[in-house]
Structure 1
Amino acid sequence: MSRLVRSTFIAALALTAAACTSDPVDKAAKARIFSPEDPPKVVASAAEKLPPEDVADNPRVARRILGMEAAEVTERLGPHTYKAKVDFEWTTKEAPPVRLSETRTLRAGPGGVSGDFHGQLDNSRDQGLEVMRVGGKVYARNRYSTFRQRLRDRGMAERTRAELTGALRDMDALFQGRMLLEPQGTITYEGRTAWRYQVKLGDKVDASAPKQLPALLEPKNGRDETTQRRLAFFEHRVPKSLDGEVLVDAATSVVLKTRLDGHLTVPADKTPEAADLRMSLESALTGIGQDPQLQPPEKFLPDADKPEGIADALDRFGIPRAKTGADAGTPGETDPEDEG
């Protein structure tokens, strides 16, 4: 390349760069790229004003308050302890009642959406789980197992925290959003002013424009009987009664206490047999503003790429691994090189 051509090329590049820097579209793009990162969605949601006195008259405010997740509650309220008990009783004419009771506990530390927490679920069938996040590190276990560190959490802790504290939201959805709140004035709870609402079963919600959801995948051999009953219940359930009370914090619009009793049925013409579900919920927030001083578990297993396999279990019990071509778990043929 001659000196003249090189000079012309450099001049063209300089003119192009100058044009880009003066282009308003380019300036706007650079401003977006180098602008401060937007706050997490939960933080933005926590800044939204939700007047608790509007709950009875504004369905949108009511659904937001009843469905508020634990991360937003912590952003609004600070550290606290949540405890709930949920009782289920399922009855049919052909079988004795099936009962299940759950106890859910969440201790939330300071720090809002990214703060420490310790969640625990236990039920009357001797099952349960625990999840902790302390200093950004996650630990989890089943009821009687040892904690295991979860370095690759992939949102498991966040989902568990939301599910543990979502009993009120789930009950409202189960009763098809028909939870009607009637104001009963204000009371004092945990030293805070709270709006008290009486809960009743409201009118059927207009579902003329349901959400378009994709069709369920059909198993190759058809759905099993248990799945058919479960889907029939959710499709044809009919709320019969719902009563209780809900206390909503006047300052933060967080639900502080709940007591609910509900009854749903499924008609016999919609399922193989008529069924009834009775459920109750009692929940309360305590220790508001008190840091639980959470600490990681004293003993825990390190994170693992995958669970220990069958071969590791055989080694643990002293069972020799099979040689190539032999059945697993049975002694293989002796290797000639090992003889003599």
Structure 2
Amino acid sequence: MTRFSPSVVAAVLALSASACRPDEVDRAAKARIFSPEDPPKVVASAAEKLNPQDVADNPRVARRILSMDAAEVTERLGPHAYTATITTEWTGAQNSGSNRLTETRTFRAGPGGVGGDFHGVMENSRDQGLEVMRVGGKVYARNRYGVFRQRLRDRGMAERTRSELTGAIRDMDVLFRDRLHLAAQGTVTYEGRTAWRYQVSLGPEGNTGTQPVVLPALATPKGGRDETTRRRLAFFEHRVPQSLSGEVFVDAATSVVLKVRLDGRVSVPANDAAGLAELRMVLESAVTEIGKDPKLQAPENFLPDADKPQGIADALDRFGIPRNKPEGSTPGAAPAPEDPPDEP
């Protein structure tokens, strides 16, 4: 019987291990590359079970439900319609008058979850607004009285608009420093569904169920901030919630907010930026047509996507104003230099 030395056996084993290792590494790499992609985070969030009965006693659950994004709502509910009316009224110092603005929002979500079709419109009492559609993965947008333009390089604009359109209660909760407190009042039937009804009041300061976000300090321009910026910063830094009332309906099956009616006041004490001011905000919103496909279609007439608007040149052409161009020159070409005058 032939015997091999220990060194020979060790060398053979090392060669065998080195020969097998690349195959194992390749198999692991291929498994990672060709494995199914992880679902979007919103899909995982929509699968989380949130008990509406915990809203009154658990601030984290309350903030989680009140701040639920439109994409997650669509994953939980399916097709639906959303309408909201927001009225804001500013009142300044005595005899300074008030400033009132009413904003209406409508949103329709089709089937397909987070990647499905949707149509959103936002308008206000000052004749301003916008409209955004996503149909078949293509995005179209326009201002209130404009013409739709296709947005081939959307880069998330449609999704951000969807979130802003349907986030009224989330924004109002932030405005009142996360102090929107919900007290359970039993169940009701809404749109044929069982919903928990909560009475709203202004909660105490303290544990709001959210983690404070530490942001970097704001950069200050060399010449100082303008008056408008100083007023806005003063409002957000010094705002004091005064009162809040209303009711909120939360779907028992999906934990989605279905109906909202809120009326609140926020005051800002006099400071270096401005005098005493008070803001009253009223919100009414409702989710309807749950499960009904709106059958959204792309607009019949729309402008193609443009790399760069023509700007002033386009405006001149639109109003029939001729452009002053040297004879025989081409658009965009620099004018030819004039000949110097003859010397005497």
What's the TM-score once normalised by structure 2's chain length? 0.86
Q: Is the contact between residue 79 and residue 109 of structure 1 (CA under 8 Å) also seen in structure 2?
A: yes
Distance apart, 1:211 and its partner CA: 3.0
| Mapped partners of 1:190, 1:211: distance in 2 | 37
Equivalence for 1:320: 323
Equivalence for 1:122: 123
**1:220 aligns to what SS in structure 2?**
coil
Q: Is the contact between residue 84 and residue 281 of structure 1 (CA under 8 Å) also seen in structure 2?
A: yes
Equivalence for 1:80: 80
Distance apart, 1:88 and its partner CA: 0.2
| Mapped partners of 2:337, 2:212: distance in 1 | 68
Equivalence for 2:299: 297
Equivalence for 2:219: 217
Query: Structure 2 matches for 1:18-57, cutoff 5 A?
Result: 18-22=20-24, 28-57=28-57
Query: Structure 2 matches for 1:1-340, cutoff 5 A?
Result: 16=18, 18-22=20-24, 28-93=28-93, 95-205=96-206, 210-269=212-271, 271-316=273-318, 317-323=320-326
Runs of 4+ displaced beyond 4 Å: 12-17, 26-30, 332-336
Distance apart, 1:28 and its partner CA: 4.7
Q: Letter of the aligned partner of 1:281 in structure 2?
A: L
**1:231 aligns to what SS in structure 2?**
helix
Listed one character per residue, the Cα deviations across residues 200-221 of structure 1 (whole Å, up to 9, x for unaligned) are 00001259x8432111121232
Listed one character per residue, the Cα deviations across residues 69-109 of structure 1 (whole Å, up to 9, x for unaligned) are 11111110010100000000001116210000000000111
Distance apart, 1:311 and its partner CA: 2.4
| Mapped partners of 1:77, 1:22: distance in 2 | 44
| Mapped partners of 1:17, 1:319: distance in 2 | 78
Structure 1 regions of 5+ residues with no counterpart? 1-11
**2:84 aligns to what SS in structure 1?**
strand
Identity between Structure 1 and Structure 2 (%): 70
Listed one character per residue, the Cα deviations across residues 6-59 of structure 1 (whole Å, up to 9, x for unaligned) are xxxxxx999755322246xx7555433332100011111100000111111111
**2:294 aligns to what SS in structure 1?**
coil
Q: Letter of the aligned partner of 1:116 in structure 2?
A: D
**1:113 aligns to what SS in structure 2?**
helix
Q: Letter of the aligned partner of 2:236 in structure 1?
A: F
Most deviating of 13-22 and 82-91: 13-22
CA RMSD in angstroms comes to: 2.7
Equivalence for 1:3: none
Q: Is the contact between residue 314 and residue 321 of structure 1 (CA under 8 Å) also seen in structure 2?
A: no
Structure 2 regions of 5+ residues with no counterpart? 1-13, 340-344
**1:16/1:313 Cα in 2 relative to 1: closer, same or farther (>3 Å)?**
farther
| Mapped partners of 1:31, 1:14: distance in 2 | 23
| Mapped partners of 1:335, 1:144: distance in 2 | 46
Q: Is the contact between residue 227 and residue 273 of structure 2 (CA under 8 Å) also seen in structure 1?
A: no
| Mapped partners of 1:219, 1:17: distance in 2 | 64
Q: Is the contact between residue 236 and residue 270 of structure 1 (CA under 8 Å) also seen in structure 2?
A: no
Q: Letter of the aligned partner of 1:196 in structure 2?
A: R
| Mapped partners of 1:106, 1:283: distance in 2 | 11
Listed one character per residue, the Cα deviations across residues 124-149 of structure 1 (whole Å, up to 9, x for unaligned) are 00100000001111000000000001
| Mapped partners of 1:147, 1:262: distance in 2 | 37
Q: Is the contact between residue 238 and residue 264 of structure 1 (CA under 8 Å) also seen in structure 2?
A: yes
